[in-house]
Structure formats: structure tokens, C-alpha cells
Amino acid sequence: MVLDKNFPPLKNDNVLRAARGEPVDRVPVWVMRQAGRYLPEFQEVRATHEFFEVCRTPELACEVTMQPLRRFDLDASIIFSDILVIPQALGITVEMKKGVGPVLPEPLVTPADLERLNQTGTIERLNYVGDAITMMRHMLDGKVPLLGFTGAPWTLMGYMIEGGGSKTMSKAKAWLADYPEASHQLLNILTDQVVNYLVMQVKAGAQMLQVFESSAEHLSKEQYITIAMPYLKRIRDDLQKKLSDEGIDAVPLVLFSKGAMHSLPEQAQLGYDVIGLDWTIDPHEARKLVGPDVTLQGNLDPQDMYKPLEELRELVLTMVRKFGKHRYIANLGHGITPQTPIESMSVLVKAVHEAL
Ligand code: CP3
């Protein structure tokens, strides 16, 4: 396994330039969950390897990270992993059940359960992610930048209390109401780990980072501002400080808060370089709300990938023309879904590059 940090020079840095507000050769595009079940070659790897085994084995993680890049002219790669590796490293069992998704058989039930969290050596237990990132930088040979990522504190708290995905997040929201102090204690624990995890990923070679606040949709606007945002802000500020204290260059930071389009002006104030949009907001409206100094990422409805290809192409062209070439990274408004036809990805990527 090649783990030295002398990485090949980058050939296509459009996504990094877009994130920094610099001119681009073409509108960059990548897709959330671009390595995934819609690809038969991914299914093939999964047929013989359990989900977290793929995450934990750098050779396998790199292979599936590479798969979409072999097929499509994407402008970024994202390391194959999952947001739930942090709860796992804190000592909470996480299983990936076929047809169900993630299951945490021993969720946090009361504040006393916080004592179960093993906060020492947590990041070291995630070194396999760093190894996969370092290995991937070599495998990419500078083709496109490599993104690292993490779940955001509220989203991770939700899974840890619900014991898996939830339509309502009612148990996690009950914690907020019934155990406000313990809730903030948990959010602080997670924030500390997230910051250290992101520092580790940058040291390993991640060139851009995305923070997934995928469960923001369950919070009211007021709760998003009081429960999610303070920790998102601390992640940005502490990460910047830790990197600068160690003399490491900052990398662009993306915030994706699904279902929090009600708070875009507030998000734009957090200091992230890029704000990810879900598909519920119009590009012009989003730009008006965040102002000129933030890059926008998104936001095609993943369901549009099931439309006839000519119709899909028109939707993508319209979207990209609305966002424009400056400070824009094309993506879906959430992860690509398992039944998506592969040709739709080709059409999406091609249409983004041809739109302007
Ligand atoms: O984007 C990429 O290509 C990188 C890989 C990636 C995965 N999960 C792989 C994965 C990323 C960035 C994630 C993040 C993640 N994981 C999020 C945030 C993004 C989002 O979609 O909101 C969340 C909420 C999770 C937790 C999680 N992991 C869920 C809810 C599921 C089930 C999803 C489903 O549709 O069933 C997973 C499993 C998962 N993570 C899969 C993949 C490719 C599919 C599982 C499989 O291969 O069996």
C-alpha cells in the first residue's frame, strides 16, 4: 500500500477553484453518493464484501471510489466511507442491513448512556479512512481532487439516539426537549471528534471537505439555528485554527444541510466556502439569499434522473444556466438513488459541461 504523502500534481482543479471563487475552465460537477448501488461494479464488490468491510479496507474503498471516475467525466472524487464511522469509533455498534440501511442495535436511550462513549483514541480507530484517502490520492494520479467528509453533530446524534434512520427523529427530538443539557453535551462531544477527524483527513490528503447535516430537515428553523448552527460554526472555526496552528493549508469546506433552505443567509455567515443546496430552492433565489461571496453546490432533484434523457438534459442545462459559471459546483440536491439509470449520469455530467 502506497502511503507516502508526495502526491502527483493536480490536473483538474476546477472544483477547488469554484469553491474559492476563482475562474473555472468549465463548471465542475460531482454527485453525492457517486460510488454506490446504481453501479453494477459496486454491487459486484458488495456481493462478496460487507459494507463496513469495504470502508475499512483501503484497497476496496479506493476501488469503489474510483468506479464512477472510470465511467464519467467527473470533476471530483469523494472517498468511500460513511458518516456513521464516527459513532462506531465511539464504541456504538453500527450494522448495514440490506434493504433497511444503517441499524444501531444499542442506541443512546438516556443521558447515562453518554458514559458508554469511548472518547479516547477515537480518531486513531478511524485511521483506516486516512489510509484510504492517502492511497486514493496516489490512485487518482492528480486526475481530480479528492473530497473527505463527515456527518454533522445533529445528524450523528439523530442516528445514535434513533438507532437508525427515522422518518420523524422523534426520539432525538425528545432528547432535545427532555435532556437539553445532555443533548448539548453529546453535540459537543461529536463536534470535538468531527474537528479532529477532519484534521486527520486533511493530513492524509483530503483536498476539500463536506459536512453532511442531512437530518436538518427534521428541525424547525429556530432549532436549526440553535441546535445545528452553533456546532457547524465551531467545526469551521476550530478546524481552521487547528490546521493553521499546525502550519497546514486550509482546504475548501462545504456545508450541506438538507432541508434547511429556510436559513441560507444564516448559513452563508458560518464561514464555509460552499453551501450545498437541496432541490427545493430555485438557483436565483438561493444566490440572492447567500450573497455573492459564497459558492453554491447543487441542486438537481435526484428523481429527475429517472426522466427521459432529453428531458433530463434540458433540466440540467436550465439549472446550470441559472447558477452561472462563477462560484458554482453542479451536483444533485441529495444522494443519487440506487435504481438510477447509468445513462442519466452520463447525460448529467455532459450537460453540465456543455451548458455554458
Ligand atoms: O458520496 C459517495 O460516493 C461517498 C460515499 C457515502 C456513503 N454514505 C456511502 C453509502 C457518503 C458521502 C455517505 C454519507 C452518508 N451516510 C449520509 C449523508 C449523506 C446523505 O445521503 O444524506 C448519511 C445520512 C449516511 C447514513 C447512511 N448510510 C444511510 C442512511 C444509508 C442507507 C442508504 C440507503 O439508501 O439505503 C447508508 C448506506 C450507504 N452509505 C450506502 C452507500 C453506498 C448504501 C449501502 C450499501 O452499499 O449497501
Secondary structure, 3-state, 61-106: HHHHHHHHHHHCCCCCEECCCCCCHHHHHCCCCCEEECCCEEECCC
Contact status, residue 158 vs residue 99, Cβ threshold 8 Å:
no
Say if ligand 1 is within 6 A of residue 80 CB.
yes
Judge if the beta carbon of residue 302 lies within 6 A of ligand 1: no
CATH match for 14-355 among 3.40.50.880, 3.40.120.10, 3.40.630.10, 3.20.20.210? 3.20.20.210
Q: Which of 159, 224, 231, 328 is catalytic?
A: 159
pLDDT of residue 159 exceeding 80: yes
The predicted-structure confidence for 94-150, as pLDDT tens digits, reads as follows 999 999 999 999 999 999 999 999 999 999 999 999 999 999 999 999 999 999 999
Please write down the long-range contacts of 61-65, taking CB distance under 8 Å and 24 or more positions apart: 61/128, 61/132, 61/136, 62/132, 62/135, 62/136, 62/139, 64/35, 65/35, 65/132, 65/136, 65/139
Q: In 3D, which of 61, 36, 16, 24 has the Cα closest to residue 251?
A: 16
| pLDDT tens digits, 52-66 | 999 999 999 999 999
Grid coordinates representing 287? 444566490
Residue 37, ligand 1, Cβ within 6 A: yes
Percent of the chain at pLDDT > 70 equals: 99
Q: Would the CB of 142 count as within 6 Å of ligand 1?
A: no
4-54: per-residue pLDDT in tens?
889 999 999 999 999 999 999 999 999 999 999 999 999 999 999 999 999
Q: Is the CB of 214 under 6 A from ligand 1?
A: yes
Q: Which of 69, 82, 98, 218 to mutate to test the pocket of ligand 1 (most atoms within 8 A of CB)?
A: 82
Which residue has the CA at smallest separation from atom 24 of ligand 1? Answer: 214
Q: What is the pLDDT of residue 320?
A: 98
Specify burial of residue 339 (Cβ count, 10 A radius: 0-12, 13-18, 19+).
Answer: exposed
Its pTM surpasses 0.85: yes
Calculate how far, in angstroms, residue 245's C-alpha sits from the geometric centre of ligand 1.
33
pLDDT of amino acid 1: 66
Which backbone phi and psi does 112 adopt, to 5 degrees?
Answer: -60, -25
Q: What is the pLDDT of residue 56?
A: 98
* pLDDT of res. 3: 81
